[in-house]
Structures are given as C-alpha cells and as structure tokens.
Amino acid sequence: MPRIAYVNGRYLSHRDAFVHVEDRGYQFADGVYEVCEVARGYIVDMGPHLDRLDRSLKELSIAWPVSRKALTIIMREVVRHNRVIDGLVYLQVTRGVASRDFVFPANAKPSLVVLARKADPGFQARRATTGIKVITVPENRWERVDIKSVGLLPNVLAKQKAKEAGCQEAWFVDTDGMVKEGGSSNAWIVTRDGVLVTRPADHGILRGITRTTLFKVASRLGLKIEERPFAVEEAMRAREAFISSATTIVLPVVEIDGRPIANGEPGSVALSLREAFFDVAEKSRA
C-alpha cells in the first residue's frame, strides 16, 4: 500500500505530494510545524501539540489553514490511510503561495501538509537500554526558538556534526556555558540529590510538549524538578542526564563531549520516566 499525504485539501500518493515552488515555507522558512508520536494506535498529546501550533501561528501572524476540529480529523485520516500503529504524524503550516517578496502577502492562503509514517516501536526502547552520546555546540540560532518554526538549518548542521562525531544529539550552549537544548530535544540532568533540572521554557528554548508531560510523570513518581539553567560542567558531574522529545520520549545520555556521565550507563530515573510516560500522556484514538 503506497504512503498517503495530505496537501491543501487533497489526500495524495506520497510520490505525488508536492507544494508550489513559491510557497513561502520553501523560499523563506515562513511556517511552523508539529510532530506527534503515534503509539499503540493513539496520537499522543495531540491536544497540547495543537495548542502549541496555535501559539506559533499567532506569533507569526499566520491564520489556521482549516479549523482545529478539521485538522484533528485530517491527522487521524492520514494516520489511518498509512496504517500507522506506532510511528509519527507530522503537520506543517506555511503562510502560503505568493510572488517572492519579504513582506507578508495580502491574500495568500495558508498551506497545510500532513504526513505520517510507521516506526519500529522497539527502536527507541533499545536505544534507551544503551543510552546516547551528546556533543555540545555554540548557540547560533535566532532568539525566538520558542516558536516551532521550520527554519531549522542550525539544528541540521548541529545534528550532522553530532553524527560525524559518532553521537546522536547536539546540545546548544550559550555564551555563559549554559546548556539550552538539543538539536531536536530538550535537555535534562539529575543531580546527586535526585532532583531533575531543566532550563526554564522562556524564549531561550522550545517548550517541549513531552517536556511538559514529564512534569506530570515526575509528580506521579514523587520526583522534584527545578527549572533553572545548568552548565556543561554541571551536566558532566551529574548523576544522570537525558533528553526528551515527541519522537524519542526519554533517552538517557551516557556521554557528553567524550566524557562519561556517572558510570557511563543509562540511569534509573530516566528509565523510570520513560516507562511511566505513556500512562500519563494524553491519548487520542487515531
């Protein structure tokens, strides 16, 4: 069965799913996106993801391409057409198609693309048992990373650098030596006292939906969280480190810039958060 994508009102074969060459997402990265995990036949945290989509659209003065209710139906249909039980659903909204000009076009209609794909549900679970390695890179992105924009070239370059170093993620570090977030994840550490630490989700990082759900998971597990910046050196001395995102949930970090974290093995706190996540997260039947 061929993959199916939704593009501006039509369900199309993946190989025939195209956008116009003057779409502003293509020419200016003038758009936003969201990615939801699909697990066990449920779209995970769909409501919070659409809440964040709404915020991103408002920050860029882009209108919703369809109603929120219609978008939830489209997402479910794309997941169903692609028979995704475990995987992800991706949606992207741009300002639309217009003759190339930097200022907002007067009458452009927002463009909407929705994709879904299957994933091996055991892949990230296996990674969690071994942990991942991280490198650090200087922060070089624009200040409004709280908007989930499709302008991700710095993230692409950082993650490529991580891959070339034999690592799976890159952490952006500010001029004060403080960790901001990963190329596609939020960054966490666990102190020697068992306290979870993650940077405040102000304009310096993206307010991750999985990050937010982990606050509820931590509460259920009786774990304390501190929202504050932490330095690379503190992370290297930590009891544990881990990342969170919709596509990875929680993955332990066992090495930063070639230095092992604690004993170099996945930590129990990260693994317990991962284990409890699905039961706490919002679940919408796909």
Coil, helix or strand at residue 187: strand
Q: Is 148 a catalytic residue?
A: yes
- Enumerate residues 6+ apart whose C-beta is below 8 A from 21: none
Structure tokens at 165: 């170093």
- Of the candidates 109, 133, 148, 216, the residue annotated as catalytic is 148
Question: In angstroms, what is the C-alpha Rg of the chain?
Answer: 19
Residue with tokens 């901001």: 180
**Residue 153, Cα to own-chain centre: how many angstroms?**
15
Calpha distance 274→268 (Å, rounded): 10
Structure tokens at 22: 């003057």
The per-type count for the chain, helices as H runs and strands as E runs, is 8, 16
Q: Angle at CA 238, nearest 5°, toward 233 and 240?
A: 130
Coil, helix or strand at residue 225: strand
H-assigned helices in the chain: 24-28, 46-59, 68-81, 121-130, 153-164, 209-220, 232-237, 268-280
Residue with tokens 């958060």: 273
Contact indicator for 96, 113 with CB cutoff of 8 Å = no
Element (H, E) at 117: strand 111-118
- Tell me the catalytic residues: 148
